[in-house]
Amino acid sequence: MWPGVDDLVITPQVRAALAQVVTLVDDAPIDLMSTPLAELEAVEVLIGSWGCAPLDAASLDRLPALRLLAYAAGTVKAVVTDELWARGVAVSSAAAANAVPVAEFTFAAIVMIAKDVLRVRDAYRANRGEGWVSGVGPAGPLGTHGLKVGVIGASKIGRLVLERLRTLDVEVGLRDPYLDPEEVDELGATPMGLDELCSWSDIVTVHAPELTATRHMIDAERLALMRDGAWLINTARGSIVDTAALEAECASGRLAAWIDTPDPEPLPPTSPLWDLPNAVLTPHIAGSMGNEAERMGLLAAGEVGRFLSGRPLNHEVRAGDLGLLA
């Protein structure tokens, strides 16, 4: 793990939960290649998180008894290897726990955009409270009532966003190629094609996985379909959006964007998005931060308990799943 991650993820509460079902080899993260082999030969469960090195053949040779990787973070793509699958090691991910703060962040961004909070803040600051801030912004009336929100991807995060949107008086469109119309309806949304969703929405929020098929899915053509004054939110992966095309649209003033995961990350200092008033850049903070990270550790501890008691994992990741996961 990266320095400091263990303190955030493997908190005293998580350690207490683990102590009920396992014996911890060490109180601190270990380096698989430098830890004495005698300490690793009996290890059946490995708990990883952000900064965990890929489990290649050399690492796995030092873990002959390994049965479970409980990954206390989101995507496992940088950690799992063909060798891991070949050895029959079960894998569990805490992506479901990490999805919660991302959905909360996205929901908050939608409400802040609907209220035009950043522009209103600047106007209020400039006039020092004199006069009344209009309820009409550059793109029309402010507020969430009747807002059209387009959601791309009914992923774990996308579904949590949809759940939260049901608390607002908004219209919701959903694009997910793996769901039939009845399933979309059950999620409280209207099924749409991607082009239709882009042209229909006041706000488009991206929750699709990073795949070859989704690279630059939001390109110049689709951005051009979006209505004047519309917003794009990306808390998924930067490669899904064509950054150059987005920069051009935002620089023209036609569109606005809230980008938590740009491509590249971070953006070069010369990107116009840094300084545009209609662009919000945040440094990949939608996911678990601070005390939110403990949720991932608790999920991992629960999975360890289930596995060692012979029960099925709730959050298992299989090799065949990787092509559809973030």
| Mean pLDDT for all residues in the chain | 96
Residue 154's pLDDT is what?
98
d(CA 87, CA 39) in angstroms, rounded, equals 20
- 292 contact partners, CB below 8 Å, separation of at least 6: 100, 101
pLDDT at 141 over 90: no
The residue assigned the tokens 């300084």 is: 275
pLDDT at 134 over 80: no
Domains recognised in the chain with CATH numbers: 5-97+290-321 (3.40.50.720), 144-281 (3.40.50.720)
**What pTM value is reported for the model?**
0.95
Residue 142's pLDDT is what?
87
Question: With bands split at pLDDT 50, 70 and 90, how would you rate the model's confidence at 42?
Answer: very high
pLDDT at 227 over 80: yes
Other CB atoms within 10 A of residue 218 CB = 23
Instruction: Give the Å distances, CA to CA, from 13 to 79, 98, 116, 154, 233.
Output: 25, 18, 40, 32, 34
d(CA 187, CA 261) in angstroms, rounded, equals 26
pLDDT in tens, 184-213: 999 999 999 999 999 999 999 999 999 999
Nearest to 265 by CA among 232, 241, 292, 289: 241
Nearest to 64 by CA among 43, 82, 80, 79: 43
d(CA 176, CA 210) in angstroms, rounded, equals 14
pLDDT in tens, 159-171: 999 999 999 999 9
